[in-house]
Structure 1
Amino acid sequence: MNANASPFASFWMGGYEGADHVNAAGHEHDMVAATGHDGRLDADYRAARRLGIRCVRESIGWRLTERPDGSFDFSRVMRMALAARRQNVQILWSLMHYGVPADLTLLDDALIPRFARFAGEVARTLAPLCPGPRVYTPINEISFLSWAASATSDMGPAGLCGPAESNDSRISGYLVKQRLVKAALAGMAAIRAADPEARFLHVEPVLHVAPGDGTDPDQCALARSITSYQWQTFDMLAGRTDPGLGGHPEALDWLGLNHYHSSQWEVPSEKRLPWHLRDPRRQPLSSLLGEVWRRYRRPMILAETGHIGVGRAAWLHEIAGEARRAREAGVPLQGVCLYPLLDRPDWNDATRWHRSGLWHLQKPDSRCLNRPFARALLSWRDSPQRSQGDRAGLLVLLPCAWEDWRAPREALLQTLPHGRPLRVLEPPRQAASGPLLRSHALSPAAELLVLHGRDGGGWAAAPTQEQLALVREALRQAGRERWVCWLAGWRGDAHPDWWRELQGDGLILQPCPITPPRGDVLHAARGRLPPLWPEPSPGRRAAPHSYEGEEIAALLRNVPAPRLWLSAPHPVDGQRVRALASATPMQHLVIDASPPADALPWPPNVHWLGPVHDSLHAALAAQVDRVAPWGGPQGWAAPNATVRTDVEDTPPALQAAVRVVMAMARPTGTRAAL
C-alpha cells in the first residue's frame, strides 16, 4: 500500500462547524446543534454529495462526549457514522475542537492521559462503523487554540484568561502548544493501538505576516518571527524541536492547512492585508503551500477555506486557481475543504450569524443553497484542468478595475471562454515597490492580471517595458502564443499605441460611450462592439429567505413602494437623477451607486444604495416594481422604458453580444509576436 496515496473519497470536501468550547461569557458552544446539523445528518450529507462533496469533516467534541463520571456518550458520533455510510460519504474525524471537560484546563497535566483514553475509545467505537482507512485529527488547530487561549479570553475558563480581544500575534502560546502536542501524540498512540489502519490529518493554519513599513528592520524581523510560529506545532510533532515531547517524523502523516482572507496581516498594527483590494503584500496561496511542501515533504489538503457574503464565489475561484497552480508545481495537494458548509453563529455573540456557508440558514432547520457559491464549485469540479488546444486566447484590456467594470461579468465569464483561455488586464495599481504582477483566477478558464508598482495608478501613462514583459510572461504561462486583444471601454484620451505590444492575432474594439477613441485604433480593429452592454437580466426571483433576498431586504428597508430601480451608469449624472425624480414624484428611485458630490440635498424620493454586487442584482430586481435601464451617455431611458423583473437568465441581447465577441476572436492562423 502506498502510504502517500490519497485516502480521501473526493478532492472537493466540506466541513461542518463543530467548535464546542466554553467562551468568556460562560456560554457552552455546540455548533453542531446550533446549526441544526445533528437533526439533519442524512439530508445534509445527501445535499453535499449531490454537489460532488463526498468527503466531509466532522467534530466529535471531547467536552460534549465525556460525562462527569468519566464515561462517554458516543450516540451522536454513531449517528453521524451511520448516516454517512447510508449516503456514501466519508467523514474525517476531529476529536478535540477546542473544548475540554469542565474539570480540565489547557495546562493541566491530567489533560494528556485523559485525552489519550478518550482517543482510544473513539477509535474502538468507529472502527466497526466506518470503512477504512479511518482518518483522525487528534486536536484541531493546535497553533490557533494555543494563541487564542493565551492572548485572548475566547477560550473561557479552559484558557489562560488573557486580555479580551487583544489579538496580539506576538504571543505564540508556546506552553499550551507543548501540552497539546504531547496530548496529540498520546492520542495517536491510543488510536493506532485500537485501529492499526488509522491515518492522521494534522490541521494547522498557513499564514503570512508582512511588516507595516518594509524599510524598518525591526518590523521586518518581527514579521519573520511571527510567520515562523506556524511551524512550531508541526516541528514538535515531527521531533525537530522539543524532542522530549515524544515527536517523531512518522507522526506527520497528512497535513491539513487552513487559510482564510484573514490569514495574512501586517505588524505591528495587526491589520489584515485586504484580499478584496488585492494588496500586493499578500502572498499567493500556491506559494505558501509550496513552502510547506519544501519544509516537510508530506502530502496535504487545504483543510479549511471560505469567505463571507458576496465574496464567497470569488474566493472559491481564487483558491481553486491557486490549488491548481500548486499542483502544477508539484505540490501533492489532494483536496480542498470548503468550511463551513452551513452558516454559523458567532462564537461570542450567538445572535450574529456568519454568512459564510454553501447553504444559507435563516434558522437552524432551514437550508437555502447559495447559488453563486455553488456555481463556482461546480465549474471547478467539472473543469479542473486548464483548457488545451491551439485556439487563440482572449486578452481583455479594461479601462478600470475589474470590480468597477460596468459589464455583466459573471455571465461573460460563463460564456466567453469556449475552450480558450481568457485573461483580463486592468490598469496598474499603485504600490510601494514593484513592478509586480499577480494573477487571480476568475473562473477555470479566466484570470485577472493585476500590475502593481510605483508606476501604478491607471492608464494615465503607457505601461513600461518592464510591466509589459510581466504581462507577456503571464500570457506565455497560459499556454498560448496567440492572443486576440479586446479593448473594453477604450477612451479617446487613452494612449493609442502601446496596445500594439499585445495585439497578437487581432483587435476587438469596444469604445467608451462618452469619449470614444480616434485614430489608428479605429482602423486596426478587426471588429467593433457597441459601447454599452445590454442591460443584465434580473433573472429568477430570489427566494425571500435566501442570503441575497435578506441582503436586499435590508438595503430597501426604509424605501417605500412603489420602487423604481435606476440601473446606474458610470459616472452618475446628478442632474439627470434630479430631473427623473421631479418627473416621477410618486416613484421612489433606487440607485445602485454612491451619490455624486452635490451641495444641494437630494429629493426625498431618491435613495442611494451604494454599489450593489452583481450577484445581488436578481434579488434587487425581485424587490422593486420596475427597472429602468441605463440608456446611453445622456442618461437613463425614459421612466416608462422599463424591463420586466421576472425574465429568465441571460437575455438574448447579451447572448448575441457574446456570440459577436467569440466570432471576432476566431484564430486567423497568424502567430503573435509576444
Structure 2
Amino acid sequence: MVASKKPHFKSFLMGGFEAACHVNGQGRRLDMIRQTQHDIQVEQDYALVKSQGFQTVRDGVRWPLIEKEPGVYDFSSLEPMAVAAQRLGMQVIWTLCHYGWPDDLDVFSPEFITRFAAFSQAVATFLSQYSDDTPFFTPVNEISYFCWVGGEVGTVYPYGKGRGYEMKLQLVRAALASMDAIWEVCPQARFVHVEPLIHVAVPPDQPELREAAHADHATQFEAYDIMAGMRHPELGGNAKYLDIIGCNFYHDNEWFYYGAYIPWHEETPDSNWVPLHQLIEKIYKRYRRPIIISETSHYGGNRPAWMRMIIREIQKVLIQDIPFLGVCLYPILDRSDWENDDHWHNSGLWDYSLGPEGRHLRVLAPDYAAEIQRAVQLFSSTATKELFSTST
C-alpha cells in the first residue's frame, strides 16, 4: 500500500445533492436542484452538510439552463453554488451531465459530442475563478443506468427502444471528449466516473439462466471498459481516462435475472445477497483504480440500519490493500419522485417539510444522523485516515 501525499478528498463522508435535469416519462423537464430549493438555499445547505462533518459534496451543473443557445453560456445558475462553496471551503465534485442536455440537441448526433466538450471546457474555466484546488468532475452521471432507462426501455427521454448500447457508446465518446477539453484548460483536473454497482443472480429454480444472468451482470462494466480502451479501442479509450471509480449502491441493486429484487435485511440477509465489500473487491481487481461509494441511501425507517451495514462493509474494505477514498450519502436532502412531485422519498439526512411562504425546510432525521455521526467519528481517526489516503 502506497500512501499519497494528501487525501484526494477533504472528507471521507460526503453528501450528494440530487441534480437530475432530464425529461421524464411525462415529457416534462425536471430540475431537481430547483425542486428541492437547493438553488436558493445552497449556502445554507452547504453549511448544514459541513455542520455534520462533511467537507466534500457531489453537486450538479445544469447544462440545459446554462447553454440556452449553441455555444452561448449563462452561468447565473452555477455562480451562487460556486460562491457558496468558496465561502464555506467546500470541495465539490461537479456532475456535468446528469441525464439532461439542451432541448435542441440530439444525443445520438456528432454535434452532441462537440457541444458537450465545449460546454465542459467552459464550465471548468468558469469554476477555476473560485478555487485553486484540484477540481473534480463527473462528466456523465450513470451512463449504464441512463442508457437502459432512456435508450433501451425508453421510460424517459430520449425514449429509445433497443438503442441502449448505441447510446452507451455515444455517451462514453462524449465523456472522453469532455475530459480532453477540460485537461486543455485545467491539466490537474480529476474525474470520478459514477456507475451502478450491481449483482444479477441466477434464479435458484432456473439454473439454465446462468449464462444470461452472468451476461446481464457484466453489463455494469461496459462503460468503464470502453473508457479505459479495454473494449472498442477505436473510440479512443485509454487507462488515463478511468481515474476514480464511483460505485452507486442501493438496496435494489441486487436482483435475480429477469425476476424479483434480492431482499436486503440487516439481521437475516438473503443467502443470494452479495455483501458490498465483495462487490467492491471484484471491481477493484478488474480495474485497479481508486474507488468511492458515490451514492447510497435507503428510505424512511430503514436508513439507520442501512448506514450500519455500510459502515461494517467499508471497514472490511479498509483493512485490504484497496485505495478506498470515501462514501457519499445520496441524496443528502430528501427529494421528490421524478414522476410525482407530491411524493417525497424520505431518503435524505434531512427530510422535507413545507414552511411559510412555500420555503422548503430541512428537518434532520435523528436516528439516521446518529449513525452518520458514528461513521464520521470512526472514519476521521488518524489510523483510518492513513488507510483511506492511499493512491495510484
TM-score, normalising length from structure 1?
A: 0.54
Alpha-carbon distance in structure 1 between the residues aligned to 2:155 and 2:312: 34
Residue 354 of structure 1, CA deviation: 1.0
Q: Secondary structure at the match of 1:361?
A: strand
Q: What's 1:199 paired with?
A: 190
Alpha-carbon distance in structure 2 between the residues aligned to 1:174 and 1:208: 19
Residue 221 of structure 1, CA deviation: 1.1
1:377 lines up with 2:367 in the alignment: no
1:242 lines up with 2:232 in the alignment: yes
Q: Secondary structure at the match of 2:194?
A: strand
Q: Hey, which of these two has a bigger chunk of helix by percent?
A: 2
Q: Secondary structure at the match of 1:362?
A: strand
Alpha-carbon distance in structure 2 between the residues aligned to 1:362 and 1:132: 35
Equivalent residues in 2 for 1:415-494, closer than 5 Å:
none
Deviations 1:54-105 (A, max 9, x none): 1000010212221135311211212111101111211110000000111223
Alpha-carbon distance in structure 2 between the residues aligned to 1:6 and 1:306: 24
Contact 2:15 2:56 in 1 (8 A): yes
User: Bigger radius of gyration, 1 or 2?
Assistant: 1
Which of these residues, 240, 256, 262, is aligned with residue 252 of structure 2? 262
Contact 1:140 1:204 in 2 (8 A): yes
Higher normalized contact order (CA 8 Å, seq sep 6+, divided by chain length)? 2
Percent of aligned positions that are identical = 38
Q: What's 1:101 paired with?
A: 102
Alpha-carbon distance in structure 2 between the residues aligned to 1:107 and 1:155: 15
Q: What's 2:343 paired with?
A: 352
Equivalent residues in 2 for 1:182-331, closer than 5 Å:
182-213=173-204, 216-269=206-259, 271-276=260-265, 278-331=269-322
Equivalent residues in 2 for 1:43-58, closer than 5 Å:
43-58=44-59
Residue 349 of structure 1, CA deviation: 1.3
Q: Secondary structure at the match of 2:58?
A: strand
Matched residue type, 2:183: R
Matched residue type, 2:305: A
Matched residue type, 1:373: Y
Residue 299 of structure 1, CA deviation: 0.6
Q: Structure 2: give runs of 5+ residues left out of the alignment.
A: 384-392
Alpha-carbon distance in structure 1 between the residues aligned to 2:159 and 2:115: 17
Q: What's 1:136 paired with?
A: 137
RMSD: 2.0
Contact 2:58 2:93 in 1 (8 A): yes
Q: What's 1:342 paired with?
A: 333
Contact 2:12 2:380 in 1 (8 A): no
Alpha-carbon distance in structure 1 between the residues aligned to 2:4 and 2:159: 37
Q: Secondary structure at the match of 1:294?
A: helix
Contact 1:13 1:56 in 2 (8 A): yes
Deviations 1:495-544 (A, max 9, x none): xxxxxxxxxxxxxxxxxxxxxxxxxxxxxxxxxxxxxxxxxxxxxxxxxx
Deviations 1:422-477 (A, max 9, x none): xxxxxxxxxxxxxxxxxxxxxxxxxxxxxxxxxxxxxxxxxxxxxxxxxxxxxxxx
Contact 2:65 2:77 in 1 (8 A): no
> Structure 1 residues 183, 4: closer, same or farther in 2, change over 3 A?
farther
Alpha-carbon distance in structure 2 between the residues aligned to 1:350 and 1:187: 32
Q: Secondary structure at the match of 2:341?
A: coil
Alpha-carbon distance in structure 2 between the residues aligned to 1:266 and 1:90: 38
Q: Secondary structure at the match of 1:367?
A: strand
Which of these residues, 360, 363, 369, is aligned with residue 368 of structure 1? 363
Contact 2:71 2:115 in 1 (8 A): no
> Structure 1 residues 384, 8: closer, same or farther in 2, change over 3 A?
closer
Contact 1:219 1:268 in 2 (8 A): no
Residue 5 of structure 1, CA deviation: 5.3
Q: Secondary structure at the match of 2:102?
A: coil
Deviations 1:548-567 (A, max 9, x none): xxxxxxxxxxxxxxxxxxxx
Contact 1:111 1:183 in 2 (8 A): yes
TM-score, normalising length from structure 2?
A: 0.92
Residue 4 of structure 1, CA deviation: 8.9
Matched residue type, 2:367: P
Deviations 1:131-159 (A, max 9, x none): 31000111011111111112333322x24
> Structure 1 residues 385, 29: closer, same or farther in 2, change over 3 A?
closer
Q: What's 1:91 paired with?
A: 92
Alpha-carbon distance in structure 2 between the residues aligned to 1:172 and 1:104: 17
Which of these residues, 173, 176, 191, is aligned with residue 167 of structure 2? 176
Alpha-carbon distance in structure 2 between the residues aligned to 1:172 and 1:256: 25
Q: Decide which moves more: 376-385 or 42-51.
A: 376-385
Alpha-carbon distance in structure 2 between the residues aligned to 1:145 and 1:4: 36
Q: What's 2:62 paired with?
A: 61
Q: How many residues align?
A: 375
Matched residue type, 1:374: A
Q: What's 1:73 paired with?
A: 74
